[in-house]
């Protein structure tokens, strides 16, 4: 049994609705046709309409024109295959989960697929297109299963889905980055390709993968009537005899296969699977004749192609024919998708039960509450020991006596060279960890959001974007200019968060994820556009490395940390009261708005200073305050110093691990922190869901 509301309407009404549906379909197809024609005419040499018509009808072509078309047709074919696969895949995920934010990007399918392909390249395994598709499918399916499992519960919450998928994507991307950094020759070119590139060497990949994409699409279309009934809800669909579980499994497997095929051809082109179905959903709501899921799936596929082609056309219009080929198309779609995600998050209803106030978190151990000074002193001594140990270890071991001689100026030349570079790194890691931890503490306190962190909220990525703008655009840059650019980027992110993410805890994080995705895409655009071969430089900056840190770079962090310590010493009672609600602070005479401005401003400055010195690091502002809160409770008199110490220790340990585990190779500290913070965040999200 199927439901068709159009049969209840009079014949003239049904005819009008079908006419509007035909107009919409025609408009989408026209959009696709125009984008395809313009796409073929772009390049270093002109191809006119007569040449295109001769090529389409099999007419004779000049040799030069034939070469041009043969070089552009594979790119167009890749856009057709990838766009349709991603649009179809996103529509299928949204329909089967009844979740408007489900897509290959928000379920980490693209990240899992790309990691599998990068791992194969790093191991020296040459994969054919079909073998690569199998590897990408396996990686994407595992990632999707993990995200859907974390986001499930009382329905698939849109916000929980994006949170779980985005954070898991960050963790998987960190693993991928480790491979790119350690094996640069084996993975040469994968950094830019990982942002989604339509550049192709012939039609071989498209021809081999296209049949698999077609089969996966047919499988999903076979469940069209079941998907129609699922839109009424699981209980209603079950009453009509729909096997909900098996339907979900088959549709998700088909959707993952489509997304994996797209990654195999062109890398992970971001947010097409989210935006294309969303655009078609707006149309479908107004035209009932298009509400059937099979129609919706096919229209989303066409819209996906048009979106990819439009992004590629716009890219080459902005940067020219030559540069437009080297810059990944996925950068443009990611920027569009991040703006779309921010807009959707702003319009979402409040998360309700998905949130959890800071005052409901674990209060701390009995020892920590009764004698916080002793606990802070013990942890501080341990952090100092860890810092000294970090100075000793590395690609060359140093003894304590060597440090003493270095301090007196009597060390050997070799020891002096090593310590002159290693000590600033350790001090930079200490200060960066303390600054980011305090920034996270401030944001969590004034927003009463246990998931707040400068990295997760996109502030760190935006600060990184500001620093990269200074480095790549200005002819001459200095540490002061880089810090200024980072501060401007972080402040811009804070403004966006204030405008679109306030009034709801998880909506704030969702907006932050969109801001971070857009900033990361623009950072990739700047790095690839100005220096496409310097993969290591890009990874080091975006991964957060203390390599090359100097005392001059560390100075802004030290100054701002002292300022933050003085401020929190005076406002610790205000922060205690702000954890409850907006009413209690006013009763106690605390200005909520003033306190938010002061502490958010400090958080932005601290994040900018840390990012300008060692690059983008996430999760420190999440992990350190939570760990400190579980030890000493919620009083900021003890919570703030312990948070700073734990954050400093976390980054120092991560930096030491990155310098020693694979010595002489080095891993950025930010990647190690991400590998630690990702499982912690997912555990916290699951805990909040169960609560």
DSSP string, 437-464: HHHHHHHHHHHT-TT--TTTTTHHHHHH
363-374+427-690: CATH class: mainly alpha
| Residue 165: closest CA among 457, 518, 504, 513 | 513
Let me know the angle formed at the C-alpha of 465 by 464 and 471, rounded to the nearest 5 degrees: 90
**Residue appearing with tokens 């989210």:** 274
Question: What is the model's pLDDT at position 365?
Answer: 57
Question: What is the model's pLDDT at position 219?
Answer: 94
Structure tokens, 28: 């989408």
- The upper half-sphere exposure of residue 299, i.e. CA atoms within 13 Å in the direction of its Cβ, equals 24
Question: What is the model's pLDDT at position 102?
Answer: 84
Range(s) within the chain of domains with CATH label 1.10.3470.10 = 5-348, 363-374+427-690
| DSSP-derived secondary structure letter, 476 | S
26-76 pLDDT, tens digit per residue, is 777 787 777 777 777 766 556 666 666 665 555 565 655 555 666 678 888
Question: How many other C-beta atoms can be found within 10 angstroms of the C-beta atom of residue 196?
Answer: 30
SS3 content of the chain, % helix, strand, coil (to 5): 75, 0, 25
Question: What is the model's pLDDT at position 359?
Answer: 47
Structure tokens, 264: 């195999």
CA distance 507 to 647: 26
CA distance 136 to 309: 23
Question: What is the model's pLDDT at position 199?
Answer: 79
Contact criterion met (CB below 8 Å) for 107 and 143: yes
Architecture label for domain 5-348: Orthogonal Bundle (1.10)
CA distance 248 to 467: 44
Residue numbers in the chain where pLDDT is lower than 50: 1-8, 13, 351-356, 359-360
CA distance 127 to 462: 36
Question: How many other C-beta atoms can be found within 10 angstroms of the C-beta atom of residue 31?
Answer: 17
Task: Return the CA Rg of the chain.
Answer: 27
Q: What three-state secondary structure class fits 188? A: coil
Question: What is the model's pLDDT at position 381?
Answer: 93
Structure tokens, 596: 């938010």
């Amino acid at each position: 049994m199927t439901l068709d509301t159009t049969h209840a309407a009079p014949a003239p009404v049904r005819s009008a609705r079908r006419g509007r549906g035909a107009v919409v379909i025609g408009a989408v197809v026209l959009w696709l046709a125009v984008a395809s024609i313009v796409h073929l005419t772009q390049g270093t040499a002109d191809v006119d309409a007569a040449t295109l018509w001769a090529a389409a009808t099999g007419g004779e072509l000049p040799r030069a024109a034939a070469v041009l078309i043969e070089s552009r047709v594979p790119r167009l074919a890749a856009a057709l295959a990838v766009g349709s696969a991603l649009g179809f895949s996103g529509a299928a995920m949204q329909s089967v989960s009844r979740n408007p934010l489900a897509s290959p990007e928000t379920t980490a399918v693209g990240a899992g697929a790309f990691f599998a392909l990068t791992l194969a390249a790093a191991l020296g395994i040459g994969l054919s297109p079909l073998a690569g598709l199998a590897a990408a499918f396996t990686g994407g399916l595992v990632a999707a299963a993990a995200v859907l499992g974390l986001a499930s519960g009382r329905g698939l919450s849109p916000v929980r889905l994006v949170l779980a998928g985005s954070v898991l994507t960050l963790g998987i991307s960190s693993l991928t980055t480790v491979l790119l950094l350690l094996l640069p020759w084996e993975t040469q070119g994968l950094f830019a390709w990982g942002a989604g590139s339509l550049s192709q060497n012939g039609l071989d990949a498209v021809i081999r993968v296209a049949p698999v994409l077609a089969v996966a699409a047919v499988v999903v279309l076979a469940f069209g009537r079941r998907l129609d009934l699922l839109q009424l809800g699981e209980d209603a669909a079950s009453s009509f005899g729909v096997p909900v579980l098996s339907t979900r499994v088959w549709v998700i497997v088909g959707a993952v296969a489509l997304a994996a095929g797209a990654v195999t051809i062109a890398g992970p082109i971001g947010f097409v699977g989210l935006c294309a179905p969303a655009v078609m959903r707006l149309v479908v709501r107004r035209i009932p004749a298009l509400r059937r899921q099979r129609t919706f799936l096919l229209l989303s596929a066409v819209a996906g192609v048009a979106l990819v082609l439009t992004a590629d056309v716009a890219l080459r219009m902005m940067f020219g024919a030559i540069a437009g080929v080297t810059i990944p198309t996925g950068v443009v779609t990611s920027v569009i998708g991040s703006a779309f995600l921010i807009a959707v998050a702003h319009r979402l209803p409040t998360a309700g039960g998905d949130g959890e106030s800071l005052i409901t978190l674990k209060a701390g151990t009995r020892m920590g509450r009764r004698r916080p000074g002793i606990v802070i002193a013990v942890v501080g001594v341990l952090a100092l020991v860890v810092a000294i140990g970090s100075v000793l270890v590395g690609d060359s071991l140093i003894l304590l006596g060597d440090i003493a001689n270095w301090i007196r100026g009597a060390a050997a030349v070799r020891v002096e060279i090593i310590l002159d570079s290693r000590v600033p790194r350790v001090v930079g890691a200490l200060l960066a960890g303390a600054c980011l931890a305090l920034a996270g503490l401030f944001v969590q306190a004034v927003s009463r959001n246990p998931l707040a962190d400068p990295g997760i909220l996109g502030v760190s990525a935006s600060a990184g974007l500001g620093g990269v703008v200074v480095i790549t655009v200005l002819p001459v840059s200095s540490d002061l200019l880089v810090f200024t650019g980072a501060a401007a980027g972080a402040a811009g992110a804070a403004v966006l968060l204030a405008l679109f993410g306030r009034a709801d805890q998880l909506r704030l994080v969702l907006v932050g994820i969109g801001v971070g995705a857009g900033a990361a895409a623009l950072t990739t655009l700047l790095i690839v556009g100005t220096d496409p071969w310097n993969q290591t430089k890009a990874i080091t900056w975006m991964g957060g490395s203390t390599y090359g840190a100097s005392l001059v770079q560390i100075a802004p962090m030290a100054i701002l940390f002292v300022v933050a310590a003085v401020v929190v010493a005076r406002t610790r009672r205000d922060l205690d009261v702000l954890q409850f609600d907006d009413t209690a602070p006013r009763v106690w005479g605390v200005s909520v708005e003033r306190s938010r401005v002061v502490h958010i401003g400090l958080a932005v400055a601290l994040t900018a200073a840390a990012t300008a010195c060692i690059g983008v690091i996430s999760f420190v502002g999440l992990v350190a305050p939570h760990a400190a809160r579980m030890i000493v409770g919620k009083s900021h008199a003890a919570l703030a110093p312990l948070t700073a110490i734990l954050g400093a220790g976390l980054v120092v340990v991560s930096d030491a691990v990155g310098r020693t585990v694979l010595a002489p190779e080095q891993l950025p500290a930010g990647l190690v922190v991400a590998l630690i913070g990702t499982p912690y965040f997912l555990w916290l999200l699951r805990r909040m869901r169960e609560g």
